[in-house]
Chains A and B, each alone.
Chain A
Amino acid sequence: MDLYGLFYDLFFDYTLRTVAMGSAVIGIVSGALGSYAVLRKQSLLGDAMSHAALPGIAIAFLLTGSKMPLVMIIGAAVAGWVATLFIMSIVSSTRVKYDTALGMVLSVFFGFGLVLLTLIQKRPDATQAGLDKFLFGQAAALLESDVITMGVLGAAAILLMLVFWKEFKLLSFDSDFGATLGFPMRALDVLMTTLIVIAIVIGLQTVGVVLMSAMIVAPAAAARQWTDRLGVMVLLSSFFGALAGISGAVMSASVQRLPTGPTIVLSVSLIVIFSLLLAPRRGLLWNWMRERRSRGRLRIEGILEDLYSLALEHKDPTHAHSTSVLRLMSAGKGGVEKSLAILRDRGLVEPVGADEWALTKEGLARAQKIARMGGGASGGH
């Protein structure tokens, strides 16, 4: 499909338009609320919640015989919440640590969900068809009415997040302090957890229970790389979530038999990798360049210092010395010729004869300054 055709279909093809809108809603909501999960170091809680949703979906179907999205969402949300309560009470009433409790609850709930799913699929009637799509998600099955349900729930979650912005910031940064100010931090914690549950359950049909937690964690982790402001982080995280959601879901909807969850997760992973590498200040590439630059500067200053200390042993401060002596002094760190060439270009040293170098006047002044400051090490910022 060419790009023009894709854009045309995005607006006029029912399936593609529905899928794009649905996944945009998922991306925006999970990106925004995922920021809080990441900042509160609850990334894995999202994983437990989404896996735990599976038995909720199955039980909701068994009780009602319906696959209506709202029924599925309610079942998933209740199960997600029950799992969270389990985790919290295990941590508070036993010696089991948080990560262990999380792993236990996740696998028990998920295993139970798989058992129920298998039982349901053995039933002769056809109403159960497609319930297994909740594992890895299926974007193409989205209906406009599903998107409306998701949109209403998601909008409510985002609205609450904005209304309690200040309170949630307090909860995430310093909950104890918030409690001394008189805010009911436990209630706010419950509300925030509920909002995260909503963000997860509205995405389950499209992304699937196995990989939905990536939509909570990845956009936020990527967004954190680019900004130091909470507001910007939430916005950017929503944008990344929507971008990954739309591109992944559209890809999977236009290619036969491509599961949506994994495709979306691959898209969001690309955004994360890009951000980890390239984001200014926090990005790996940025750090690498900064380190290289300061290492280069230290080496050059080292050569100047060496020339200066050699010159001090003579009457003439611009007395020339051979490259091999300098190489010896820099203790095999290498790059002596290159550093000398850079220093010559800056007019700090000049070649004398075939293989000897001397400080210029400027070079001498600079070397004295470096020596006064206590060596090259202080050249860093």
Chain B
Amino acid sequence: MAGDDTRQNAIEVEDLTVAYGEKPVLWDVDLTVPSGVLMSIVGPNGAGKTTLIKAILNLVNTAAGQVLIYGKPYHKQRRLVAYVPQRGSVDWDFPTNVRDVVMMGRYGALGWIKRPGKAELDMALGALEKVGMRDYADRQISQLSGGQQQRVFLARALVQDAQVYLMDEPFQGVDATTERAIVTLLQDLRASGKTVVVVHHDLQTVPEYFDWTTLLNVRLIASGPVGDIFNDENLRLTYGGRVSFLRSGEPDETDRKARIGGA
């Protein structure tokens, strides 16, 4: 899908407005995500990051705007999009095991009524292998740690075999090892031509992990290559001057990478 036409856009959001009651959560957002980028969405709490992802997936009612996936409306392109919700959005005490949860990623392709079989199981085990959870296939999901839960959710998205991956805070509350593993996985996805969009909280790691970023605070502040737009001025616009850790004077890229690598 990607490659031959590098100018094709994976996601195009136009004039998107979402309001809960009177309060706008997203205001007139225009966003273009080129195919094959690994993009973070950053912004303060309440900036509408999760809502943006949910609006792209048609999970919330929009007041205005439209979303195109590879040039067509989302509901026609559903199969091309995989979703990793926030880990805390489900009850991990649900009576099921890891294998079954991962196979849920195939339910859409299976369609109504048909049950998952051998083919789905093989795909699930393959995805679990990729996230380093192959040995946990039969584990009850209530016995997983936070990082393991996150990996299971990633595996579930992997079996969807999509072109576009939307992930809501996959780094939330995971240990350093898992964070490393997830980053590697995301970069592998990009390397194979997929588009990955990640709601992200840690500003420090944005330049290291991502090549594209979107700064959001109800309105879209900036969106583009990290090197072009991830600067103090835009961050101050996004966070309203509350970014105390940012140093004055922009260090060059190699300096920053070295600093993060050493941390």
Contact = CB atoms under 8 A, between A and B. Distances in A.
| Pairing of A with B | yes
B96 A180 contact: no
Determine chain B's interface SS by DSSP, over half rule.
Answer: mixed
Nearest to A227: B95
Interface stretch (A162-170, A271-279, A314-322): A162-170
Contacts of A174: 85, 89-90, 104
B258 interface: no
B104 A224 contact: no
Contacts, number: 76
Interface centre among B75, B85, B116 (most CB of A within 10 A): B85
B112 interface: yes
Contacts of B239: none
B107 A178 contact: yes
Contact of A164 (B85, B108, B113): B113
A46 B114 CA distance: 29
B5 interface: no
B115 interface: yes
Given A165-B115, A170-B107, A180 B91 contact: no
Contacts of B91: 39, 41, 173
Interface centre among A165, A172, A180 (most CB of B within 10 A): A180
A176 B89 CA distance: 9
Interface in A161-204: 163-167, 169-170, 172-174, 176-183
A32 to B, nearest CB: 14
A345 interface: no
Contact of B97 (A39, A182, A228, A233): A228
Interface residues of B, number: 32
B172 interface: no
Determine chain A's interface SS by DSSP, over half rule.
Answer: helix
Contacts of A62: none
The size class of the interface chain A forms with chain B is: 20 to 34
Nearest to B57: A180
B94 interface: yes
Interface string A228-252: 1110110000000000000000000
A182 B74 CA distance: 11
Given A163-B113, A165-B115, A176 B59 contact: yes
Given A166-B115, A167-B112, A180 B81 contact: yes
B154 to A, nearest CB: 13
B116 A169 contact: no
A232 B100 CA distance: 14
Nearest to A163: B113
Contact of A180 (B78, B115, B140): B78
B59 A173 contact: no
Interface of B: 54, 57-59, 75, 78-79, 81-83, 85, 89-91, 94-97, 100-101, 104, 107-108, 110, 112-116, 140, 142, 156
Interface of A: 39, 41, 163-167, 169-170, 172-174, 176-183, 224, 227-230, 232-233
**3 smallest beta-carbon distances between A and B, as pairs:** A181-B108, A180-B83, A228-B140
